[in-house]
């Protein structure tokens, strides 16, 4: 990842699909002085993403794209990102898979937060898998995005303890709380 020079902040876009608690957290982080990023745009694959309201509340531009028609849509997005001089893409609960071509164009500049201790449990239903396997720990990872799903280099991770009392909801809640600590830490790590 490129290094920061002077006081310039890295223009960032956040991709979401749902609730957007990580987006909310990243917006809060971006506003503190030591944050290396400024969020210029929020992109969602659905108008139904609740998280879009955080963009509105914070006067951040939002755009919705129907990712079904992948190539054309992605090329349009690339044009927008280029025009806005975007240098970092943060995926935050974005549930679509970006094409190889898109990732290549932004190589090393796309990061994702994933609700497991990668390389364990790539893909979906991570908490269910951890509970079913009676794992002692769950957690979250921030990693670089490559064309292989959830397999890029890990930037940072946080662990949570899974107790006998935990169910899917309680574990997801615990992990999400750690995600909100982890994403800013990972971003600071890549620019320091």
- By the criterion CB under 6 A, which residues form the site for ligand GAR? 16, 18-22, 51, 92-93, 113-115, 140, 176, 179
Query: In whole angstroms, what is the distance from residue 20 CA to residue 53 CA?
Result: 9
Question: How far is CA 167 from each of CA 121, 170, 177, rounded to the nearest angstrom?
Answer: 17, 5, 16
| Least distance in angstroms from the C-beta of 5 to ligand GAR | 30
Q: Active site residue: 114, 127, 143, 180, which one?
A: 114
DSSP state for residue 87 in the 8-state scheme: -
- Shortest Å distance, C-beta 113 to ligand GAR: 5
Residue with the CB atom nearest ligand GAR in the bound state: 93
Residue closer to ligand GAR (CB basis): 87 or 114 = 114
Least distance from C-beta 163 to ligand GAR, angstroms?
A: 19
Of 23, 37, 41, whose CA–CA distance to 187 is shortest?
A: 37
Q: To 10 degrees, what angle do helices 168-191 and 21-30 make?
A: 30
- Give whichever of 62 and 114 is closer to ligand GAR, judged by the CB atom: 114
For residue 125, indicate whether it is catalytic: no
Residue 1 near residue 109 (C-beta atoms within 8 A):
yes
**Based on CB atoms, which residue is closest to ligand GAR, 63 or 75?**
63
Active site residues: 114
């Amino acid at each position: 990842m490129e290094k920061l020079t002077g006081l310039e902040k890295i223009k960032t876009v956040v991709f979401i699909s749902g609730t957007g608690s990580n987006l909310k957290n990243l917006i809060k982080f971006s506003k503190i002085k030591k944050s290396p990023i400024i969020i210029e745009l929020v992109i969602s694959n659905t108008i139904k993403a609740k998280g879009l309201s955080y963009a509105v509340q914070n006067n951040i531009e939002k755009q919705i794209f129907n990712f079904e028609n992948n190539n054309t849509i992605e090329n349009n997005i690339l044009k927008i990102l280029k025009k806005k001089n975007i240098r970092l893409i943060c995926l935050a609960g974005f549930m679509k898979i970006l094409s190889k071509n898109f990732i290549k164009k932004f190589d090393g500049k796309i990061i994702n937060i994933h609700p497991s201790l990668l390389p364990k449990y790539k893909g979906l239903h991570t908490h269910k898998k951890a509970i079913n396997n009676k794992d002692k720990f769950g957690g979250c990872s921030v990693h670089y995005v490559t064309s292989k799903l959830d397999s890029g280099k890990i930037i940072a991770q946080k662990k949570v303890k899974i107790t006998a009392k935990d169910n899917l909801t309680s574990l997801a809640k615990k992990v999400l709380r750690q995600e909100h600590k982890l994403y800013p830490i990972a971003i600071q790590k890549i620019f320091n």
